[in-house]
Structures are given as structure tokens and as C-alpha cells.
Amino acid sequence: MRKLVYWVHQSVDGFIEGPNGEFDWAAMAPELSTYSFELTDRADAFLYGRKVWGMMSWYWPRAEQISPDPHDLRFAPIWARTPKIVISRTLESAEYGARVIGRDLAAEVAELKAQPGKDLLLTGGSGAAAALTELGLIDEYHVAVHPIVLGGGTPVFPGKDRLDLRLTGTRGFDGRSVLLRYERA
């Protein structure tokens, strides 16, 4: 069975974006970039919530023209060729061949996980992750903690319910960021 892996960047104080929606602080230094490609190699489909999809579908098709960053230049063709799934109750369709799910999220994701193939990688955002966490469908949480305090914004886990996790690994990157890897307890 495929695993659903949640990969997210957060501040030290637990936010995935600042008070004004800013996400200009998560630096993909070389070691962290390498790790992100290890996660990408494990997956054969990328999942996004609607808001993150909006950002990803705007940026990645243009990345090779607008960014000199080595990480971006390496990831852009991977993004283009990898199947994408958008979790949304409001979108009917999505560009770049992405499939939209969300009418019966539990059944749709359970069906995806039961299919043969590599893992499913849910990137960023908190709404889709909260919904999937509540349904017990996320198998692994990979949280990259960056050395910044945002003082407010969107929390990485906006749910009201308690979530017990088991630490399965930690790792430092580039003398800056720390990975916390968890599974459900």
C-alpha cells in the first residue's frame, strides 16, 4: 500500500506562512534541497490543497524562465511530468492535467493509497493536511523547521483535536533547518 507523506516548512513558532500570508523565509539550501528530492523520488504523485495549488501552478510552469535557483531549475521538470492531484471542494478542474478530488475525500484518498505505485506526497498548506489528518490518512509527517519566528500567521496544524505522533527521526540541514519526522502514534 502506498503511503501518504506530508512535507511542510514551518517557522520555529509553528506557522507555515506569516501574518500577511508571506512565505519568503523558507530557504532551500543545498542539504535541504537534496532531502526534498529524496522525498520526490519516493512519490509518483503530488497532492496539493487548493490554495497551495494556486501558488504551485502559477510558479512551476514558469520557474525555468524566472528563477536562477539550482533547486528550482532541477525541480521544475519533475513538477511538470509528475501527476498532480488537487484537494478541493470548490474547484471543478485544474490546469496541467491535475485531477481534482474532494467530494468524498476519505474514499478518494483511500482509493489512491490502495493503488500500486510509489508514495503520495502532500506538500505545504494546512487545510488539506488538517482534513487528511482528521481522517487518519496521513502516514508520515516531514516537518522542516526554519530558524525564524513569524509571530503569527497560518499554523501548521490548525485542527482543534489532539494529535499524538511518534518521532521517527530528526536531521539538521545546512546548519540552519531541522527536520522532524513523525508517524501517527
Domain residue limits, the chain: 1-17+40-120+131-163
Q: Looking at the chain, which runs of residues are DSSP E strands?
A: 4-11, 15-17, 43-49, 84-87, 99-101, 119-123, 140-146, 154-155, 165-173, 177-184
Q: Read off the pLDDT of residues 158-181 as tens digits, 9 standing for 90 and up.
A: 876 788 999 999 999 999 999 999
Q: Read off the pLDDT of residues 116-163 as tens digits, 9 standing for 90 and up.
A: 999 999 999 999 999 999 999 999 999 999 999 999 999 998 876 788
**How far apart are the C-alpha atoms of 2 and 92, rounded to whole Å?**
26
Pick from 114, 140, 138, 131: which is nearest to 38 by CA?
A: 140
**How far apart are the C-alpha atoms of 45 and 120, rounded to whole Å?**
5
Q: Are 3 and 143 in contact (CB under 8 A)?
A: no
pLDDT at residue 157 in the model: 87
Which amino acid, one-letter code, is at 14?
Answer: G
Q: Are 173 and 31 in contact (CB under 8 A)?
A: yes
Specify the DSSP class assigned to residue 126: S
Q: Read off the pLDDT of residues 6-58 as tens digits, 9 standing for 90 and up.
A: 999 999 999 999 999 999 999 999 999 999 999 999 999 999 999 999 999 99
Q: Does domain 1-17+40-120+131-163 have CATH number 3.40.430.10?
A: yes
Strands 43-49 vs 84-87: parallel, antiparallel or unpaired: parallel
Which amino acid, one-letter code, is at 144?
Answer: A
